[in-house]
Amino acid sequence: MKKIDVDKIENAFRDILDALGENVKREGLEDTPKRVAQSYGELFSGLFQNPEDVLKRTFEVEKNDLIVEKNIDFYSMCEHHFLPIFGKIDIAYIPNGKIVGFGDIIKVIDILSKRPQIQERLGAQIADAIYETLNCQGVMIIIKAKHMCMTMRGEKRVNSEIITTSYRGVFEDDAVRRMEILSLLK
């Protein structure tokens, strides 16, 4: 199985510091390449995990009532600038005879957000994993996030927030059901 090469990251970051004109041996920076490599190991730990694996343990339900899990914190890294993306994810789904634990949904978010990402793809991947693995009637994902690539550099819009949605199944064609979810999330 492939894994993150922290030694290679450490050496590469040492080269980055050198390219910036920093003394890589000065106090304060001496262990920074190792710390960056270790944090990248954690920040990108979802690269070699399959989100569907955590959705295999299901529970049968008699009724297919709407399930909503909201305000789930997430952190990711923008694949364009390798700067943080962070915010909240709301998930709603209508089961088809089986559900998963709330913690398992959080694990799916962690796996998929711990990869170089764009927000739109993250929402689509979460929706696909839940919809396809659970074979549920429908799933709706809403992500509200801040992108440090927009606040620290470039446009420098500190208060901007990006909102994306992903729908699968019954939510794709049913505006009434989507509105029901949106009203519950307010």
- Looking at residue 107, its pLDDT comes to 98
> Was 136 annotated as part of a binding site?
no
Q: What is the pLDDT of residue 166?
A: 96
Give the per-residue pLDDT at 65. 95
Give the domain ranges of the chain. Answer: 6-44, 58-185
State the burial class of residue 164 (Cβ atoms within 10 Å of its Cβ: 0-12, 13-18, 19+). middle
Q: Is the pLDDT of residue 88 over 80?
A: yes
Q: Are 90 and 178 in contact (CB under 8 A)?
A: no
Res. 1 pLDDT band, cuts 50 70 90: low
Mean pLDDT of the 17-38 span:
95
- The answer to whether residues 123 and 86 touch, using CB atoms and an 8 Å cutoff, is no
Residue range 114-170, pLDDT digits in tens: 999 999 999 999 999 999 999 999 999 999 999 998 898 888 888 889 999 999 999
Residue type, 169: G
Global pTM value: 0.93
Rounded to the nearest 5 degrees, what angle is found at the Cα of 50, between the Cα atoms of 44 and 55? Answer: 125
Residue 147 marked in a binding site: no
